[in-house]
Amino acid sequence: MVKMMFQRGMTLVSFLTCCAGLALLLAALSTQHWIVGRAHRQTNSNLSDGRIQFGLFHGLKNLNVGYGWRSYDINVVQLLNEDKNFMSYGLWVTTIGSVCFSILFAVFSAVFALVNTATTPVEAITGIPGLYLWNSLALLSNLAAVITWGIQYHLKLRRNILSFEDRENLWNSDGLAVLGYSFWFVVGAAIIHILNIVLIFFGSHQANRDSHKTLKPIIEEKGNGAIMLY
């Protein structure tokens, strides 16, 4: 009984951490800080300043040519259509798809963790093996999003986060962009799923070890009884 309560306690903790990971992924998908950077005009770099941030779909651009700040909304899809060199379309789509799959697998992980907290499922896909599967798939999807966006940053965004029109107006952002907190949310979600796998292993391994310890004296007692009868 104690070992079962311990295993279900670890599964409950796994459910809570899955919810935390899911919240991070939803925040990453909806926020506008996958990239954060600055910009300057080449002609009056001492007076001009720019601040740019955007996520997977939308963002915000604030530019000051020396006469005050002006704010502009950024539509990432529109930028991709207008400037094919702004980002790699394939990497962008893969990042979005990976985050979406991460959310889906995180939901499965949370639901089946809650099921295992309340009951002992018969099917492997809904039991402890299933928890390993869903958390592993969520982890792989998170890593895919991190890797593809990291490649995107090093290939494209590290050198430029401005539209073609801004570059025509002599704005420059080369080397002034960094990965924002929306990206690090996905990294945090990946760490959470690693933690979940450890928790599930620890809970099930401890339960199995206690079960073997309980079973061994029973087998020995039955063996001794059989010898006495003989």
Question: Is residue 88 over pLDDT 50?
Answer: yes
Question: Is residue 109 over pLDDT 80?
Answer: yes
**Rounded distance between C-alpha atoms, residue 133 and residue 123, angstroms:** 13
129-137's contacts with Cβ under 8 Å and 24+ in sequence apart are 131/11, 131/14, 131/196, 131/200, 132/197, 132/200, 134/105, 134/108, 134/109, 135/14, 135/18, 135/105, 135/109, 135/193, 135/196, 135/197, 135/200, 136/193, 136/197, 137/101, 137/105
State the pLDDT at residue 139: 97
Tens digits of residue pLDDT in 178-193? 999 999 999 999 999 9
**Rounded distance between C-alpha atoms, residue 141 and residue 182, angstroms:** 16
Tens digits of residue pLDDT in 138-182? 999 999 999 999 999 999 999 999 999 999 999 999 999 999 999
To the nearest whole number, what is the mean pLDDT of the chain? 88
By DSSP bridging, strand 58-64 and strand 69-75 are: antiparallel
Pairwise pLDDT comparison (47 vs 227), residue with the higher score:
47
Length of the chain as a residue count: 230
**HSE value, Cβ hemisphere, 13 Å, CA-based, for 220:** 6
pLDDT grade, residue 215 (50/70/90)?
very low
In Å, what is the CA distance from 34 to each residue of 13, 95, 110, 114, 135? 29, 11, 26, 32, 24
Please enumerate in sequence order all residues whose Cβ is within 8 A of that of 227, keeping only pairs 6 or more positions apart, or say none.
none
pLDDT grade, residue 219 (50/70/90)?
very low
Contact status, residue 49 vs residue 38, Cβ threshold 8 Å:
yes
Q: Mean pLDDT, to the nearest integer, of 99-116? A: 94
Nearest to 99 by CA among 22, 20, 171: 22
Per-residue buried b or exposed e for 4-32, using 16+ beta carbons within 10 Å of the residue's own CB: eebbbebbbbbbebbbbbbebbebbbebb
State the pLDDT at residue 1: 53
Nearest to 109 by CA among 202, 200, 5: 200
Pairwise pLDDT comparison (217 vs 83), residue with the higher score:
83
pLDDT grade, residue 4 (50/70/90)?
low
Q: Which two tokens stand for residue 73?
A: 């909304």
Q: Mean pLDDT, to the nearest integer, of 72-79? A: 96
